[in-house]
């Protein structure tokens, strides 16, 4: 195993730096390949090695997915070719694969010159493979095509090497074949990274400019900022300036990640490192901002990032109202680490004070809620997710609706909903099944291409509201897990949408309201009314549960009253006495029903909201 001490940070010649990232579909082996590279380059020894070393969060290790990009610096001495014996510095960024974390990938690409496009030799090209490839091409990166898992019995490297070569525009012989699990071919891949990746370009004598591509909050040290230096250099104890806000700070510590933090006196052109200024205010370090020095400030900021628009909105409420300030602080800190998260305060009559949060998708929402509960010890309720609608009234006014409670009253001229361009890759055997599912979800087929004899790419325009619930789960179950999905925002379209309210005792409960397609309204109303009938405990009086569109009730369930046995002590005797007691009880129930208030326990909210999935799928209306 070739190991040589790496050049020290700051004194590294940009000509021997190689910045690259690994991009792939979910489960194609990015993190495992990163593990092998860490071992081969000697930055992680046998004793401290563990599977998915760069997946630092417990939730990543439990779910087996990468959520956060991780950067690491590795030395590598070339073992073959013209540069044999020369030691290079490799800065590798391991990226997520799920469509909800595409924004993480796009940020990582800005810090690199090359991308390893990794494809599973047993599964072939998937939807997210294509999406990440287009992102890398858009960032003008050198693409290095690699087939992984060639040791699997079901691997078909010849077939998929031809597919990958056709996609990238190279010869099948140029596609590298590795097994990240056994380490086969990884050494040759590292040599190829050195040969194919262009060195970083920048001016060492220019004013310092560094791009912030990530940042995290540390309880003890404050905000830790990850940067890629483009021009000049940053040194220990420099006073640095954030170009977007004009805020200045002293650099208390800087260095590189290899794979733990290693302090340095300075970092220069092309290097990827971290900065610590001791700042506790998380808003001071924005992803996409340019860092420069106060003494010799740069005049022009770097390009930064296009901010992502949230696709799905949901309310997050603390079960204990006293935790509201803690939730605000937790969201502040989490937003620093996850720039795609947006939030604003809102109030619900049923749930109290909380926040309306915007997410890139359902998995992003699930992971965010999970992280808030684990990392900040919060107990939360999340409302049913929904997308952003534009509601045009007959008087010409237009309302933006991110929450069903904002849906306007009065005469509505048109409701517009967001749509996405979805790409589905699947075996050709499942074309009919996928078409049926997409038609049930109000999709429009835009085109279909065969990637090979048995693999097809289908392109649909689908309403985001339909994808945001159970579309992905149904797609996987109907295709036995073989189909893959990728989507991107594609504007909006007019749709026949209505607001369904759930009334308890004639009063609407805002937490259960939803905006659904008119065809799905009845199914949603029946489903939720039935669920609440089972979840809400019986009261002293009869409680009607109604689903209504405006003033029209479309579904109803009734919770029967708890009846005390008032005839228990009436043995024999005249029937009129028993009738009198029953009439008296009936009058009492009637009076209580008029003044009684229905108590909905927190468990009922949690249970009802966690499984609320409106759908136009025919199977849900049975």
Task: Tell whether 159 and 232 lie within a shared domain.
Answer: no
Q: What is the predicted pLDDT for the residue at 435?
A: 92
Residue 351, in any domain of the structure: yes
| pLDDT band (50, 70, 90) for residue 371 | confident
Task: Tell whether 414 and 469 lie within a shared domain.
Answer: yes
Task: Tell whether 18 and 112 lie within a shared domain.
Answer: yes
Query: Rounded mean pLDDT of 588-599?
Result: 52
* Both structure tokens of 368: 């965010």
| pLDDT band (50, 70, 90) for residue 82 | confident
Residue 165, in any domain of the structure: yes
Instruction: Encode burial over 221-243: b for 16+ CB neighbours within 10 A, e otherwise.
Output: bbbbbbbbbbbbbbbbebebbbb
Q: What is the predicted pLDDT for the residue at 172?
A: 85
Q: What is the predicted pLDDT for the residue at 482?
A: 77
Q: What is the predicted pLDDT for the residue at 96?
A: 64
Q: Is 73 helix (H, G, I), strand (E, B) or coil?
A: strand
Does residue 349 contact residue 605 with C-beta atoms inside 8 Å?
no
Task: Tell whether 546 and 482 lie within a shared domain.
Answer: no
Q: What percent of the chain has pLDDT over 90?
A: 4
Task: Tell whether 403 and 523 lie within a shared domain.
Answer: no
Q: What percent of the chain has pLDDT over 70?
A: 79
Query: Rounded mean pLDDT of 505-527?
Result: 83
Residues annotated in a binding site: 27-32, 148-151
Residue 2, in any domain of the structure: no
Q: What pLDDT, in 10s, does the model give residues 207-225? A: 888 888 777 777 788 888 8
The least confident of 45-49, 86-90, 163-167, 200-204 is 45-49
DSSP β-bridge partners for residue 267: 234
**pLDDT at position 68 over 60:** no
Residue 301, in any domain of the structure: no
Q: Which of 465, 495, 525 is the last residue of a domain?
A: 495
- Residue 477: φ, ψ to 5°: -70, -35
Residue 529 maps to which CATH number? 3.30.70.2570
- List the one residue out of 227, 325, 303, 299 whose CA is nearest residue 268: 227
Residue 144 maps to which CATH number? 3.40.50.300
Report the C-alpha gap between 267 and 289 in whole angstroms.
18
Q: Is 485 helix (H, G, I), strand (E, B) or coil?
A: strand
Number of domains in the chain: 5
Q: What is the predicted pLDDT for the residue at 596?
A: 45
Residues annotated in a binding site for GTP: 27-32, 148-151
Q: What pLDDT, in 10s, does the model give residues 283-342? A: 666 777 788 888 877 777 776 666 667 778 888 888 887 888 999 988 887 876 676 788
Torsion of CA 431, 436, 442, 445, to 10 degrees: 30
Residue 373, in any domain of the structure: yes
Residue 255 maps to which CATH number? 2.40.30.10
**Most confident by average pLDDT, 247-251, 260-264, 430-434, 507-511:** 430-434
Residue 439, in any domain of the structure: yes
Residue 587, in any domain of the structure: yes
Report the C-alpha gap between 45 and 33 in whole angstroms.
16
Residue 350 maps to which CATH number? 3.30.70.870
| SS3 letters across 223-285 | EEEEEEEEECCEECCCEEEECCCCCEEECCEEEEECCCEEECCEECCCCEEEEECCCCCHHHC
Does residue 39 contact residue 49 with C-beta atoms inside 8 Å?
yes
Task: Tell whether 180 and 240 lie within a shared domain.
Answer: no
Query: Rounded mean pLDDT of 123-128?
Result: 79
Task: Tell whether 600 and 472 lie within a shared domain.
Answer: no
Q: Which residues have C-beta within 8 Å of that of residue 600, sequence separation ≥ 6?
A: 350, 504, 509, 536
Query: Rounded mean pLDDT of 12-22?
Result: 84
Report the C-alpha gap between 617 and 477 in whole angstroms.
14
Task: Tell whether 482 and 589 lie within a shared domain.
Answer: no
Residue 394 maps to which CATH number? 3.30.70.240
Report the C-alpha gap between 194 and 210 in whole angstroms.
23
Task: Tell whether 473 and 454 lie within a shared domain.
Answer: yes
Residue 63, in any domain of the structure: yes
Task: Tell whether 186 and 260 lie within a shared domain.
Answer: no
Task: Tell whether 242 and 364 lie within a shared domain.
Answer: no
Q: Is 395 helix (H, G, I), strand (E, B) or coil?
A: coil
Task: Tell whether 188 and 57 lie within a shared domain.
Answer: yes
Q: Which of 495, 518, 537 is the last residue of a domain?
A: 495
Q: What is the predicted pLDDT for the residue at 597?
A: 56
Angle at 480 between CA 478 and CA 486, to 5 degrees: 75
Whole domain around residue 327: which residue ranges? 312-383
Instruction: Tell me the pLDDT of the chain averaged across its residues.
Output: 78
DSSP β-bridge partners for residue 549: 552
Q: Which of 142, 162, 196 is the last residue of a domain?
A: 196
Query: Rounded mean pLDDT of 266-294?
Result: 78
**pLDDT at position 410 over 90:** no
């Amino acid at each position: 195993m070739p190991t040589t001490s790496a050049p020290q940070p700051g004194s590294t010649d940009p000509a021997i730096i190689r910045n690259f990232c690994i991009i792939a579909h979910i489960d194609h082996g990015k993190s495992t390949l990163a593990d092998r590279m860490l071992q081969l380059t000697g930055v992680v020894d046998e004793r401290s090695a563990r599977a998915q070393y760069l997946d630092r969060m417990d939730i990543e290790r439990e779910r087996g997915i990468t959520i956060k990009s991780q950067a690491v610096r590795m030395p590598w001495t070339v073992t073959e070719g013209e540069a044999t014996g020369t030691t290079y510095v490799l800065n590798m960024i391991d990226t997520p694969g799920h469509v909800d974390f595409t924004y993480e990938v796009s940020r990582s690409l800005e810090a690199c010159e090359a991308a390893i496009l990794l494809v599973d030799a047993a599964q072939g090209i998937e939807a997210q493979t294509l999406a990440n490839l287009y992102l890398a091409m858009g960032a003008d990166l050198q693409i290095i095509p690699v087939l992984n898992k060639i040791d699997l019995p079901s691997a078909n490297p010849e077939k998929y090497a031809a597919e990958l070569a056709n996609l990238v525009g190279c010869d099948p012989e140029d596609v590298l074949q590795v097994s990240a699990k056994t380490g086969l071919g990884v050494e040759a891949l590292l040599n190829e990274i050195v040969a194919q990746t262009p060195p970083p370009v920048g001016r060492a004598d220019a004013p310092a400019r560094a791009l912030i591509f990530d940042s995290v909050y540390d309880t003890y040290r404050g905000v830790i900022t990850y940067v890629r230096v483009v021009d000049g250099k940053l040194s220990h104890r420099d006073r640095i300036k954030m170009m977007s806000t004009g805020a200045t700070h002293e650099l208390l510590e800087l260095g590189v990640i290899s794979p733990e933090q290693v302090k340095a006196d300075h970092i220069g052109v092309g290097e990827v490192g971290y900065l610590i200024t001791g700042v506790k205010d998380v808003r001071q370090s924005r992803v996409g901002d340019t860092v420069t020095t106060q003494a010799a400030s740069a005049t022009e900021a770097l390009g930064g990032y296009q901010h992502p628009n949230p696709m799905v909105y949901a309310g997050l409420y603390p079960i204990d109202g006293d935790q509201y300030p803690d939730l605000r602080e937790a969201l502040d800190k989490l937003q620093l680490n996850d720039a795609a998260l947006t939030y604003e305060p809102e109030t619900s009559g049923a749930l109290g004070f909380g926040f309306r949060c915007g997410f890139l998708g359902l998995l992003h929402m699930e992971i965010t809620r999970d992280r808030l509960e684990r990392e900040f010890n919060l107990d939360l309720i999340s409302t049913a997710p929904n997308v952003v609608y534009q509601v045009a009234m007959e008087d010409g006014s237009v309302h933006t609706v991110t929450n069903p409670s904002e849906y306007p009253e009065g005469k509505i001229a048109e409701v517009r909903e967001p749509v996405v361009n979805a790409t589905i890759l699947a075996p050709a055997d499942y074309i009919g099944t996928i078409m049926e599912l997409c038609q049930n979800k109000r999709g429009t087929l835009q085109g279909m291409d065969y990637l090979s004899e048995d693999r097809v790419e289908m392109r649909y325009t689908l309403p985001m509201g339909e994808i945001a619930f159970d579309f992905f789960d149904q797609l996987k179950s109907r295709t036995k897990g073989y189909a893959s999905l990728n989507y991107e925002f594609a504007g909006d379209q007019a749709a026949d949408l209505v607001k369904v309210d759930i009334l308890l005792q004639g009063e609407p409960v805002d937490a259960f309201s939803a905006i659904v397609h008119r065809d799905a309204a009845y199914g949603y109303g029946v489903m939720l009314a039935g669920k609440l009938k089972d979840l809400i405990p019986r009261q002293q009086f009869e409680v009607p549960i109604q689903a209504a569109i405006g003033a029209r009730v479309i579904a109803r369930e009734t919770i029967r009253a708890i009846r005390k046995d008032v005839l228990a002590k009436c043995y024999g005797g005249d029937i009129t006495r028993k009738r009198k007691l029953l009439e008296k009880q009936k009058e009492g129930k009637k009076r209580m029903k008029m003044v009684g208030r229905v108590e909905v326990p927190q468990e009922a909210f949690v249970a009802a909201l966690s499984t609320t999935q409106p759908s136009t799928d025919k199977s849900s209306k049975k």
